[in-house]
Amino acid sequence: EAASPPPAPVADKAGSEATAAAAAPVPVAAGEKKADDTAPVSAVAAQAAAPGPSVAAAAAPLDAMGPAGRTLGDTYNLDIASTAASGRDGRLTKGDVLTAIEAGTAKVKASAAAPAAAAVAAPAVSTRREERVRMTRLRQTIARRLKEAQNTAAMLTTFNDVDMTAVMAARVRYKDLFEKKHGVRLGLMSFFSQAVVLALRDVPAVGASVEGDEIVYRNYADLGIAVSSPGGLVVPVLRNADKLSFADTEKAIGDFGKRAQAGQLKIEELQGGNFTISNGGVFGSLMSTPILNTPQSGVLGLHRIEDRPVVRDGQIVIRPMMYLALSYDHRVVDGREAVTFLVRVKEAIEDPARLLIDL
């Protein structure tokens, strides 16, 4: 015989109508108490949704629960371990669960412990710094001149490589005698400055400059030699380089370097010049596109020497090679002239005897 549903649980006035409307009968097995026949679903749902206190008791073993009680507890996520059991051998019945729900003693299972929120570390004191430093007068001048070069010249760069075998052999062979006689080491810059002098004679356009609507050609070689200083790159001018010996050239360049480091170069030593040589190889540069030192129309970039495989007389051999870069003002210098100039420099370095007999 079907049992009549138990009375609906008492709710507060505001929620009584919603609770009564949502209640639904739940059939029970014969022989159970009438008060246990029906579960007020709204009350169960409300209890399941409400946050319940954490229960320390362990969950009851499965064999201590009746199947109906276990199913009902799982359905509403109830902590049935804390519910009083009235069945045989301490088994928890469906009626026990419904009784606990109606009495308001049923508890929702505690949610799995959420991982402890990582403590919010106080923001670390940043070690990142910025420093605003006013540009020195020298740096301002360098910046202005370089920007002028970009804005006024039609710059282009052509490249070549040069076999340094002959020059390096000459240095090894004569360095001791040279230093003993002249009191200065035999370096690479004297070879390149002499090679540039010869190339300028063959291709004077590379040493010319634009002034208004005129091109000014020069029959002398005042070579700017780029050297580093604590304040930046400076370019003192080697006057009348076409009239200087190897020893004179090495002495002058060595003196420029020392006085640049000491900040003792004079303003007039940095003015003028009709061509520049810049040796980025001392810093390890493999290749670059040097920027013009306006109003000059040409600058030669030297780079590091490294052993590379090359073909000589049909054989692959290892030679000390250097890349050369010539940046030039295309308003004055045509491509043919630029390439010819660089080839002349290459030929003089690969066969230094040309420097002695003016070839």
- Per-residue pLDDT at 13: 43
- Per-residue pLDDT at 123: 64
CB neighbour list of residue 22: distance below 8 Å, 6 or more residues apart: 41, 42, 45
Question: What is the distance between the alpha carbons of residues 103 and 109, in angstroms, rounded to a whole number?
Answer: 17
Question: What is the distance between the alpha carbons of residues 139 and 316, in angstroms, rounded to a whole number?
Answer: 47
Mention the CATH class of domain 22-103. few secondary structures
* Active-site annotation holder among 74, 176, 202, 330: 330
| Binned average pLDDT, 10 residues per bin, the chain of 359 residues | 45 43 43 44 44 42 63 70 72 75 68 54 75 89 88 95 97 94 94 97 96 94 93 91 95 95 91 95 94 94 97 96 98 97 97 79
- Per-residue pLDDT at 63: 53
Mapping DSSP onto H, E and C, the string for 23-78 reads CCCCCCCCCCCHHHCCCCHHHHHHHHHCCCCCCCCCCCCHHHECHHHHHHHHHCCE
Which bin fits 182, alpha (ψ -120 to 50), beta or left (φ > 0)? alpha
Q: Facing residues of 325 across strands?
A: 159, 301
CB neighbour list of residue 266: distance below 8 Å, 6 or more residues apart: none
- Per-residue pLDDT at 233: 86
- Per-residue pLDDT at 169: 96
- Per-residue pLDDT at 225: 96
Active site annotation includes 182: no
Q: Measuring CA to CA, how many Å separate 35 from each of 31, 71, 84, 150, 181? A: 12, 19, 16, 97, 124
Active site annotation includes 334: yes
Would you mind telling me the total number of residues written for the chain in this entry?
A: 359
CB neighbour list of residue 43: distance below 8 Å, 6 or more residues apart: 9, 11, 19, 23, 101, 102, 104
Question: What is the distance between the alpha carbons of residues 28 and 34, in angstroms, rounded to a whole number?
Answer: 9
- Per-residue pLDDT at 75: 74
- Per-residue pLDDT at 43: 43
Question: What is the distance between the alpha carbons of residues 211 and 216, in angstroms, rounded to a whole number?
Answer: 7
Mention the CATH class of domain 137-357. alpha beta
* Active-site annotation holder among 74, 334, 351, 358: 334
- Per-residue pLDDT at 106: 63
CB neighbour list of residue 106: distance below 8 Å, 6 or more residues apart: 44, 47, 76, 78, 79, 83, 97, 100
CA quadruple 289, 293, 297, 299: dihedral sign = negative
CB neighbour list of residue 116: distance below 8 Å, 6 or more residues apart: none
- Per-residue pLDDT at 215: 95
Angle, CA of 83, 87 and 89, to the nearest 5°: 105
Residue spans of the domains in the chain: they are: 22-103, 137-357
